[in-house]
Amino acid sequence: MVWNLVRRDLRGRYKGSLLGFLWNFILPLMQILVYIMVFTVVFRQNIEHYYVYIIVGMVPWTMFNDAVLSSSGSIIENSQLVSKIYFPRTVIPLSMVISKFINFLISMGIALLILAVGGHGFDGWALASLPVAVFCLFVFSLGLSLLLAAADVT
């Protein structure tokens, strides 16, 4: 059931748009390129490679923000499904967080590719700790989403 809800969310997000699922790649790429242009050309900072810090912070924050905002009202938005059949209610916020997490993985891949093309090397320890940080982000987003989804119902 979780997988079907995730697919429904991923398909429904860009249904009817010209590029469809390609927006999952185009949107983060354009956001990252805009940030690079803004912080290297318009707002020059005294910090070398400032856009790297922006990209590395923006991608996880966007996932966390999208996951918590979309899943906090997800049970009420799916009230017709909740009232018709019995299933664990945690499935709905879980599917929303997984959907946002899939978009996050795509965005993170694009960000890592841009950083690699930009000549920014990766430290071995940083790459080794990346899965742990991503897992912690997922668990924290899921926990807060479940809490807020339950609080929104009451």
Query: pLDDT tens digits for 105-136?
Result: 888 888 888 778 877 777 778 788 889 999 99
Whether the Cβ atoms of residue 39 and residue 45 lie closer than 8 Å to each other: yes
pTM: 0.78
Q: CA–CA separation, 129 vs 69, rounded Å?
A: 27
Give the pLDDT confidence score for residue 19 in this predicted structure. Answer: 66
- Residues 3-57: tens digit of each pLDDT: 877 777 777 666 666 666 677 677 777 877 887 788 777 877 777 777 778 888 8
Q: CA–CA separation, 18 vs 39, rounded Å?
A: 30
Per-residue 3-state assignment (H helix, E strand, C coil) for the chain: CHHHHHHHHHHHHCCCCCCHHHHHHHHHHHHHHHHHHHHHHHCCCCCCCHHHHHHHHHHHHHHHHHHHHHHHCHHHHCHHHHHHCCCCCCHHHHHHHHHHHHHHHHHHHHHHHHHHHCCCCCCHHHHHHHHHHHHHHHHHHHHHHHHHHHHHHC
Whether the Cβ atoms of residue 120 and residue 52 lie closer than 8 Å to each other: yes
Amino acid letter, 144: L
